[in-house]
């Protein structure tokens, strides 16, 4: 098994995989203006698994889309590795996304006329790279879709389609994987399989994972949980348990005033990925 695009995990932890500086995003104008992001500054160290949480409408998806180059911020800077996204041509942005980023989004975007296996390898095929067969087998095996590879997306359940999309994001070992509620449509077993493999992507291959989630159990797989409220970062937890995450979310849902901006919580004991579901 080879690491295609990443350095060793030890080297990666010293690098920044992605970052935002004083990022703002304003939708609409006049009376309908929405300030979705209000000055976000954050770094995502390479080789770390970060979960972004926060109440509905707090700006999570907007932040992720700006970080991944799928949306353009109103002001501020975004970088992937050492590449500043502002001012990149469409072509350079497409290449960067293709070569360095994996996406697991809820709208699966699978090609309906291709089999699951063909969907998984499509980005690698388009890029003209070789598939690491051993890693391909490991990914589909761990995600429990090895026996569904010949099926079209329409012949798969929603959860299976989500896992095919996850395999597609992982198979080329991109430097950074963005997931917008990657476990949103999954039952707890499939959700555990997806989270286990995202965890393995960081632990075994030094890849960087950033997900948006509403699920405290999913967040407990992360090294770090960042909480947004009203377009700003208001809290951060290090290796929290699902219960820790649930407590912060409960307070945020009661209003962001309960969480002091810029006051990271002390680190809590590392989650082992088997934390009980709360709430």
Ligand X SMILES: Nc1ncnc2c1ncn2[C@@H]1O[C@H](COP(=O)(O)OP(=O)(O)OP(=O)(O)O)[C@@H](O)[C@H]1O
Stretch that binds ligand X, among 54-62, 87-95, 144-152, 238-246 (CB under 6 A): 54-62
178: closest CA among 17, 6, 13? 17
Judged by beta carbon, residue 54 or residue 159, the one nearer ligand X is: 54
Judged by beta carbon, residue 116 or residue 245, the one nearer ligand X is: 245
Q: Using CA atoms, how far apart are residues 163 and 139, in angstroms rounded to an integer?
A: 10
Determine if 179 is a binding residue for ligand X (CB under 6 A): no
Determine if 61 is a binding residue for ligand X (CB under 6 A): yes
Determine if 102 is a binding residue for ligand X (CB under 6 A): no
Instruction: Provide the CA 59 distance to its chain's centre, in angstroms.
Output: 14
Residues of span 188-217 touching ligand X by CB under 6 A: none
Q: Parallel, antiparallel, or unpaired: how do β-strands 83-84 and 34-45 relate?
A: unpaired
Q: Which residues pair with 6 in a beta bridge?
A: none
Among 6, 58, 121, 275, binds ligand X (CB under 6 A): 58
Stretch that binds ligand X, among 4-12, 56-64, 98-106, 123-131 (CB under 6 A): 56-64
CA distances from 219 to 54, 185, 272 (A): 11, 16, 12
Q: Using CA atoms, how far apart are residues 169 and 97, in angstroms rounded to an integer?
A: 11
Judged by beta carbon, residue 70 or residue 146, the one nearer ligand X is: 70
As a whole number of Å, the CA-based R_g of the chain is 18
Tell me, residue by residue from 25 to 44, as one string, x for binding to ligand X by CB under 6 A and - for no binding: --xx-----x-x--------
Judged by beta carbon, residue 27 or residue 272, the one nearer ligand X is: 27
Judged by beta carbon, residue 160 or residue 213, the one nearer ligand X is: 213
Q: Contact residues for ligand X (CB under 6 A)? A: 27-28, 34, 36, 54, 56-62
């Amino acid at each position: 098994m080879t690491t295609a695009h990443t350095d060793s995990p030890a080297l990666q932890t010293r690098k920044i995989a992605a970052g935002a500086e004083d990022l703002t995003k304003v939708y609409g104008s006049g009376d309908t203006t929405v300030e979705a992001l209000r000055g976000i500054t954050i770094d995502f160290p390479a080789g770390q698994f970060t979960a972004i949480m926060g109440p509905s409408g707090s700006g999570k998806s907007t932040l992720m889309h700006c970080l991944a180059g799928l949306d353009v911020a109103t002001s501020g800077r975004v970088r992937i590795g050492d590449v500043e996204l502002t001012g990149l041509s469409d072509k350079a942005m497409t290449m960067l996304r293709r070569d360095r980023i994996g996406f697991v989004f809820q709208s699966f975007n699978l090609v309906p006329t291709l089999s699951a296996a063909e969907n998984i390898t499509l980005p690698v095929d388009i890029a003209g790279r070789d598939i690491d067969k051993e890693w391909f087998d490991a990914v589909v095996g761990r995600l429990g879709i090895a026996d569904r590879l010949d099926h079209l997306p329409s012949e798969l359940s929603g959860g299976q389609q989500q896992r095919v999309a996850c395999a597609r994001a992982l198979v080329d070992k991109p430097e950074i994987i963005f997931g917008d509620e990657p476990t949103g449509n999954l039952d707890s077993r499939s959700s555990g399989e997806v989270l286990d493999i995202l965890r393995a992507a960081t632990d075994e291959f030094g890849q960087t994972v950033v997900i948006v989630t509403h699920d405290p159990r999913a967040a407990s797989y992360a090294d770090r949980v960042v909480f947004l409220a009203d377009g700003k970062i208001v809290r951060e937890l290090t290796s929290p348990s699902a219960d820790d995450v649930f407590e912060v979310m409960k307070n945020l849902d009661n209003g962001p005033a309960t969480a002091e901006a810029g006051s990271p919580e002390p680190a809590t004991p590392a989650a082992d990925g088997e934390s009980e579901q709360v709430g």
